[in-house]
Amino acid sequence: YSKISELALAFAIIHSKPPGKSSKEYTEYLAKTVSEQDLGWKWKVQVLEAEVLRLRQELLLNRISPRFCLENRKQDTSAETLLGQESINPTSYSSQLEDSGCDVCNDSAFDSLGTASDFHQSEHNANTSKHWLERAPPLNLCHMSKEQSLAAPVQFLQRLLEIRKLSEGGILQADFSELENDSFTICNSVSQLLDGLTVFYNSPKFPAPSFLAEGVSVLVSLITDTRLSNHVLKKCFKKMEEFKKNLIQVILRNRSVNRFQALHSVSETLGLLGRNNILRNSLISLLLSEVRQFAEQLLQAHQVQSVYDITQYENMFLLCMILEQLLQNEMQEINISSSDYGGEEKVKFLKNLDQIILHLSDEFPLFSLYLWRVSVLLNSGQMQ
């Protein structure tokens, strides 16, 4: 039956082809037309799914704190009036955005994530841009840029964090048990945020754009909030693990000449994720595994005098620095004895490590030094 149908289709195409076109050309034209129609339907589905998620986000916020949503509507009303006035004078509107430091279209005006002080500055930028985000007109889902697709989950999660802060101060009543009843919305919002960050980190730029720093700031605030982190990690732990693995691979696979400044923001993000105890322990395990495997490969290449990947060797130092930082942070915390520090990966890492360092120390002294420093932290008397 299948062969007969294919033969009938072939005869129909040949019979109906326009003059001046071969059967092959007409077949390719029909295939392209059908493919474009499929892409059009897929895009419409994506737009509708995004709109459904936006409505579910609004509904969830309303269930958690109806008063917050009521006050937010009043702010939106005044914001609409303001936007209406600014539409008459677009120059002043753009200048206000530029002065506030929230112009997401001007990437060159911002620095990378940098050190911890830079992260606090990005938190300040996120707070100052919050009101602009609430004033911004609804996203045009038919012409959504990468920045806007990242801004959508950031707006929702920022409002969730704002409700959390107001409820903690006794200003607002909120019922966060609603997060248990609607795991779909929180999971999809966090997943969108992680996917958006991954897209930008796969082709990192220097300096890092402002919306990237803002997305990282919201993510770190979520996982370090004692009340919200349990909800987020319980529902999105697997996605967070994938995100960390992706960031590690972004560092290892980048081969551009001027990559180190761009990768600095990626490594800073991994360090910030380590502020959460649960994520830190799993991140230490991932880093121990990558460093151990590379050290074994490097030793094997050295013993048989074969070539090794010099780019990966250079990138490995970023992972070593992140690993050392995480282990030092772990030592400084109070409940040191309750930490596992990588568990099984710790045992694998320390096994035969002395022999590896001994054989690599002459040819690769700096890498051997990092291995030794990590081993000292792992072998500390408080890390049993």
Q: In whole angstroms, what is the distance from residue 314 CA to residue 298 CA? A: 12
Please name which of 190, 198, 196, 249 lies closest in space to residue 222, comparing C-alpha atoms: 190
pLDDT by residue for the chain (384 residues), tens digit each?
Answer: 888 888 888 888 888 888 888 888 888 888 888 877 777 777 788 788 888 888 988 888 888 888 776 666 555 544 344 334 433 343 333 333 333 333 333 333 333 333 344 444 444 444 444 443 343 334 444 445 567 678 888 999 999 999 888 888 888 888 888 888 888 888 899 999 999 898 888 877 767 777 888 888 999 998 888 888 888 888 888 999 999 999 999 999 888 877 887 788 889 899 999 988 888 999 999 999 999 999 999 999 998 988 888 999 999 999 999 999 999 888 777 454 445 555 788 888 998 899 999 999 999 999 999 999 999 998 874 444
**For the whole model, what pTM was predicted?**
0.69
What's the CA dihedral at 85, 90, 94, 96 to 10 degrees? -30
Which distant-in-sequence residues (6+ apart) come within 8 Å of 217 by Cβ? 119, 122, 123, 125, 126
* Secondary structure (3-state) at 333: coil
Q: In whole angstroms, what is the distance from residue 114 CA to residue 122 CA? A: 10
Q: In whole angstroms, what is the distance from residue 219 CA to residue 157 CA? A: 8
Which distant-in-sequence residues (6+ apart) come within 8 Å of 34 by Cβ? none
